[in-house]
Chains A and B, each alone.
Chain A
C-alpha cells in the first residue's frame, strides 16, 4: 500500500510570508493526489486535487500544489498566508492500481502568526 510522508509536523510562519508544506508518497505508479485542510474542531475539507492533466493545481483561496512524478511529491504552496490559514493540512494519495485505496499523511500544522 502507498505511504504518505509529510516531512514537517509543524510549520510556524508570519502573516504574508510564503509557505510550502511538503508531501512525498512511496510509489510512482498511477495515483490521484489530494490536499485536505482541517480547521480547529472541524472535519477535513478538500483543498485541491490532482487527477490528470496540468501538474499545477490551484485552490480558490490561493493555495497551489504541483505534482512531480519523478520526485513522487505533491508539495503545497501559498505565496502569502493569512491568519485564517492556520489549520492542519493533510496530503492524501489514492492508489489507482490498488482499488483506489486512499492513504493520508500524518498532517502538518500550519500556524500563521501576526
Chain B
C-alpha cells in the first residue's frame, strides 16, 4: 500500500459527460501529480500541484482541469468526455517538489467512456 488513495477505482460514463477523480496523497506529502496511462500513448504527465499551487503542466487538455485543496487532496475534472479519454488515471504524491524524492503512486482510476 503506497498510502495514496484514489477514488473511484472504476468509472464508466458516456461521451459528453463530466467526471471528477479524487486523490488523497500520503500523509505529509505536499506535491501531487496526475498521469494518464493509455495503450497508445503510454504514461503521460498531466499536471503537478505543490501545496495548493499549480507547479508544472504537461499534456493536459483544455477540457481537463485539476486543483489541490487546503487539506492537500486533489481532484482531476474531465469534461466533454470523448471515447479517447478512456484510460487509467494515476495520482502520485511526494514529500516536496524537489524532484529528487520518490513519487508514490495510487492504484489508479480506470475511466471507460462509452
Contact = CB atoms under 8 A, between A and B. Distances in A.
- Do A and B make up one complex? yes
A63 to B, nearest CB: 16
A102 B108 CA distance: 18
Contact of A43 (B41, B45, B55, B90): B90
Contacts, number: 63
Contact of B43 (A1, A90, A101): A90
B92 interface: yes
Interface of B: 2, 4, 33, 35, 41-45, 48, 55-56, 58, 90, 92, 97-100, 102-103, 105-108
A77 B108 CA distance: 27
A78 interface: no
A102 B103 contact: yes
Interface string A76-87: 000000000000
A103 B57 CA distance: 11
Nearest to B57: A101
Interface residues of A, number: 25
Interface of A: 1, 32, 34, 36, 42-46, 49, 51, 90, 94-96, 98-107
A96 B105 CA distance: 21
Given A94-B99, A105-B43, A106-B42, 19 more contacts: A1-B58, A34-B102, A43-B90, A43-B106, A44-B43, A45-B105, A46-B102, A51-B100, A94-B100, A99-B97, A99-B99, A100-B100, A102-B33, A102-B48, A102-B99, A104-B35, A104-B42, A104-B43, A107-B42
Nearest to A102: B99
Given A43-B105, A43-B106, A45-B2, A95 B42 contact: no
